[in-house]
Amino acid sequence: MTDLVVIAKECLPGRVKTRLHPPFSLEEAAELAAASLDDTLDTLADLPFERRIIAFDGTTPPPLARGWEVVPQCAGGLDERLAAVFDAIDGPTVLVGMDTPQVEAGVLSAALPDWPDDTDAVFGPAVDGGFWALGMREARGDLIRGVPMSQSDTGVRQLARLTAAGLRVRLLPPLLDVDDIGSARRVAEAAPDGRFAATLRRFDRPALVGAA
C-alpha cells in the first residue's frame, strides 16, 4: 500500500499566497489558501492510502487535518523539505501540494490500491513549470535534494532526475497551481463547487461576473 503526504503551510496572513495581494488583502489571500488546502484534504481523505500524512509548516493544523498524521517540516529550502519527507518514509509514497484545489481523486489511481508493476514513479506536472504531485515506489529523498525549486524549469529538472535514475515514470495530468489572480480564477472555474471557488466568489464577484 502507498502512503500519501500533503505538504502544507499554516495559512496565516502574509505567509501564504502573497502574490494574490493585491488585488486581495493579505487576510483574504490567507483565506483562499486555507480553502485550497481544505479542498485538497477533503478530496484525498477517502482514498485507500495506507497512511495520510500532512507535512506541516506551522503550529495549528486546519480542522480537516483530524484523522491525518501531522509531522513538522524540516528547515531548509523546499527541495530539502521535500527530500526529508521521502527519507522519513519507507515504501511507496505519493506527495501532493496544497495549491491545486481542483485535483480530482481519480487522477491518483495510478498509485492505488497497489503500486503498478510497470511504474516506479508518478509525476504530476504543474502548468507553471513546477509539479503538483510526486510519488515513488521506493521513497528516495536523494532524487529531490538539489533540484532548484520555484523555477519555470523545476518540473523538467525533477522529471529528468527521476528518469536519469532509471525510474519508469507514469505522468499524471498537468494541473494549474493557484499562484496569482489569473490562475486563481481559472482554478475556480475548473472546480466551481469547491470551497476555494466559493471563497474566491466572495472576494472577486465583480471580476467573475464580468468574465462570464
User: Tens digit of pLDDT for each residue in 44-103?
Assistant: 998 999 999 999 999 999 999 999 999 999 999 999 999 999 999 988 999 999 999 999
Nearby residues of 42 by Cβ (< 8 Å), 6 or more positions away: 64, 195
Classify residue 22 as exposed, middle or buried by CB count within 10 Å of its CB (0-12, 13-18, 19+): exposed
pLDDT confidence of residue 163 = 98
pLDDT confidence of residue 95 = 97
Q: Cβ distance 96 to 6 under 8 Å?
A: yes
pLDDT confidence of residue 70 = 97
Strand duo 169-171 + 3-9: pairing: unpaired
Question: Three-class SS string for the chain?
Answer: CCEEEEEEECCCCCCCCHHHCCCCCHHHHHHHHHHHHHHHHHHHCCCCCCCEEEEEECCCCCHHHCCCEEEECCCCCHHHHHHHHHHHCCCCEEEECCCCCCCCHHHHHHHCCCCCCCCCEEEEEECCCCEEEEEECCCCHHHCCCCCCCCCCHHHHHHHHHHHCCCCEEECCCECCCCCHHHHHHHHHHCCCCHHHHHHHHHHHHHHHHHC
Range of the domain at 73: 3-211
Task: Give me the CATH number covering residue 92.
Answer: 3.90.550.10
* Mean pLDDT, each 10-residue run in order, the chain (212 residues): 95 97 97 98 92 97 96 97 96 96 89 83 96 96 97 97 97 96 97 97 68 43
Say what the pTM is.
Answer: 0.94
pLDDT confidence of residue 110 = 66
Q: How far apart are CA 186 and CA 177, in angstroms?
A: 10
pLDDT confidence of residue 94 = 96
Domains held by the chain: number: 1
